[in-house]
Chains A and B, each alone.
Chain A
Amino acid sequence: MTYKYESQRVAFPYFVAALGLFAAQILFGIVIGIQYLAPDFLFPAIPFNIARMIHINLLVVWIIFGFMGSAYYLLPEEVEGEIYSVKLAWLHFWMFLVGGATAIVGYLFRWHDGREFLEQPFIIKVAIVIVVLMFIFNMVMTMIKGRRRTSITIVLLIGFLGLALFYLFAFFKPDNMVMDKYFWWWVVHMWVEGVWELIMAAILSFLLIKLTGVDREVAEKWLYIIIGLTFLTGIIGTGHHYYWIGTPEFWQIWGAWFSAIEVLPFVAMIAFSLRMVSLRSRKHPNGAALHWTIGTAIVSFLGAGVLGFMHTLPQINYYTHGTQMTASHGHLAFFGAYAMIVMAMASYAVPNLRRKTGEIMSQKAEIFAFWTMVISMVCIALSLTGAGVVQSYLQRVLATSYMETQSHMGIFYGMRLFFGATFTLGFIVYLYDFFLLKRATSR
């Protein structure tokens, strides 16, 4: 056994749950991908809106499972002490899983709320808050009891506190739609371009220290630079959502300038990763984990930095706002930043948590899955970028009607579905490797 701390093992079920929910997310992604081409598919049993809310809610839930699992794995090693309460970790694991599953099944029976990403019914929202608070309590107690305080754990904690804090705005549902949307973004934007980036950067730092053996002082300095850039740009950068929703026009200037430099933390993460790798004293045997780790820095830069920048200036956003351009960016950014950082941690942690040894098994299958999934997702984003350009031009410039415009975009939706299928293939290989191959060999 190579895990140093027995309580680290509680991370394992979190990664298993994350992968299971990820699989379901992809399934529903394929369903809505098909509905774009064949609208009668599963209609009216599972209409588009229901399948879509399942797709994006599963995404958020599995990412949070992944974040928690990552935290439970890295905390003991960072603070040099066991998790405060493994029982509590198991308890809120089951609460989260049952609550999440209830919500998803409920959606199929039209039990949902009505704001994008926040479709969870009121009691499920309350349950989520309780689960996250239980987790944070466990984390804080572990940090207090531990022998060591590290910047990584502190940044991770700020990230989770922020995640909980901003989720509270999900309870604010004013009658005024402008007010509603204003604070809706305090959940969605403040998460993905704010506090989640802290969680991502903390996990990234942990992984790079482990995989390169470079001194922690170097990594932690970078970590503070990255998160400093995140908040410096991302908080006022919220303004890029306040151009056309009934908010004052000064946001067009402030939102543009600050969100334009939101690419900086992503550039810094690439520089950080490459710097750490160039400084490394030894080659870590877990090559797959290094693939995912460097990969997340690069793909998040492409998805969030490049595609995000492409439509963030009001002069461009005026035409692309709410088109397939947005979907393109949403996919590559979410995948590159948050899906991949969880996969990176899973790739690093799980071999250490498996039964007999922490020995690295053959990673051919996993690396094949890595490339297949990454390339497929880049191609999905490119297909949707094509769709977005056509849509912006026909609908926004030439004033062609919405449905008429859509009828010219079938080719891109076909491409998206094709690469969705190759993505699924890669993911099946990943799951086969994770659950069957590696498990069998690690007994």
Chain B
Amino acid sequence: MNKASARNMFIGATVIVSAIFLYMTVLSIKAMPARANTPQLTEEVAWGKKVWEKHACIDCHTLMGEGAYYAPELVNVIERRGEAYVRVVLETAAIQGWGTTRKMPQFDLSKKDIDSLVEFFKWMGKIETSNWPPNIEG
């Protein structure tokens, strides 16, 4: 093989795999309403996501297995702990932080923020994640 044919193979391969990849992306987006319950994505859920981002929760926790590994998985936290417990955590965090060993810092969370985060977690919990995590502990 010489340089020119190596280059042509690079171009050819790139074009083909990109086309396949884009097609699969279209399929993935089409599947989203069903797998991610887009119709149930209310304004509250959207606000919850903004609060999640505002405090960079992802830089301690994982969400669907992505993020940092310093604190528990939260995609199924409502199922694992129950809504009441999650509310206690967030309400306490709004005042003084949470936790005994590794601690969650104090965050300025309004009542609306907390309600929205709970709705956000509930919505996240319904995403079709192909049976992940393997068990309730996340």
A400 partner residues in chain B, CB cutoff 8 A: 137
Closest approach, in angstroms, between the C-beta of B76 and any C-beta of chain A? 12
Closest approach, in angstroms, between the C-beta of B31 and any C-beta of chain A? 5
Among A53, A222, A403, chain B packs the most CB atoms within 10 A around the CB of A403
Closest approach, in angstroms, between the C-beta of A81 and any C-beta of chain B? 23
Whether B24 pairs with A246 at a CB distance below 8 angstroms is: no
Whether A231 pairs with B62 at a CB distance below 8 angstroms is: no
Among B3, B41, B53, chain A packs the most CB atoms within 10 A around the CB of B3
Mark interface residues in A210-237 (1 if CB within 8 Å of B CB, else 0): 0000000100111011011001100110
Complex Cα spacing A241 to B130, Å: 13
Whether A235 pairs with B17 at a CB distance below 8 angstroms is: yes
Mark interface residues in B122-138 (1 if CB within 8 Å of A CB, else 0): 00100111101111111
Whether A179 pairs with B21 at a CB distance below 8 angstroms is: no
Q: Does B84 interact with chain A (Cβ within 8 Å)?
A: no
Q: Does A138 interact with chain B (Cβ within 8 Å)?
A: no
Complex Cα spacing A245 to B20, Å: 20
Whether B6 pairs with A318 at a CB distance below 8 angstroms is: no
Complex Cα spacing A403 to B68, Å: 14
A-B contact count (CB 8 A): 202
Closest approach, in angstroms, between the C-beta of B129 and any C-beta of chain A? 5
Number of interface residues of A (CB under 8 A): 75
Q: Does A247 interact with chain B (Cβ within 8 Å)?
A: yes
Whether A231 pairs with B17 at a CB distance below 8 angstroms is: yes
Contact among B31, B46, B56 with A114 in the assembled complex (CB-CB below 8 Å): B56
Number of interface residues of B (CB under 8 A): 66
Q: Does B112 interact with chain A (Cβ within 8 Å)?
A: no
Whether B53 pairs with A115 at a CB distance below 8 angstroms is: yes
Complex Cα spacing A252 to B103, Å: 36
B29 partner residues in chain A, CB cutoff 8 A: 179, 182
Complex Cα spacing A244 to B76, Å: 13
Q: Does B88 interact with chain A (Cβ within 8 Å)?
A: no
Whether B35 pairs with A224 at a CB distance below 8 angstroms is: no
- Taking CB atoms and an 8 Å cut-off, the chain A residues in 85-116 that contact chain B are 112-116
Measured CB to CB, the nearest residue on chain B to A227 is B10
Whether A323 pairs with B56 at a CB distance below 8 angstroms is: no
Q: Does A176 interact with chain B (Cβ within 8 Å)?
A: yes
B87 partner residues in chain A, CB cutoff 8 A: none
Contact among B36, B46, B67, B71 with A178 in the assembled complex (CB-CB below 8 Å): B36
Measured CB to CB, the nearest residue on chain A to B108 is A110
A residues bordering B, Cβ < 8 Å?
Answer: 32, 35-36, 39-40, 43-44, 47-50, 52-53, 112-116, 119, 151, 173, 175-182, 217, 220-222, 224-225, 227-228, 231-232, 235-236, 238-239, 241-252, 254, 258, 318-319, 321-324, 326-327, 395-397, 399-403, 405-406
17 chain-A/chain-B pairs, Cβ below 8 angstroms: A50-B59, A115-B58, A119-B56, A178-B36, A179-B29, A182-B29, A224-B3, A224-B6, A232-B14, A236-B20, A244-B132, A248-B35, A319-B134, A322-B67, A327-B69, A395-B138, A401-B137
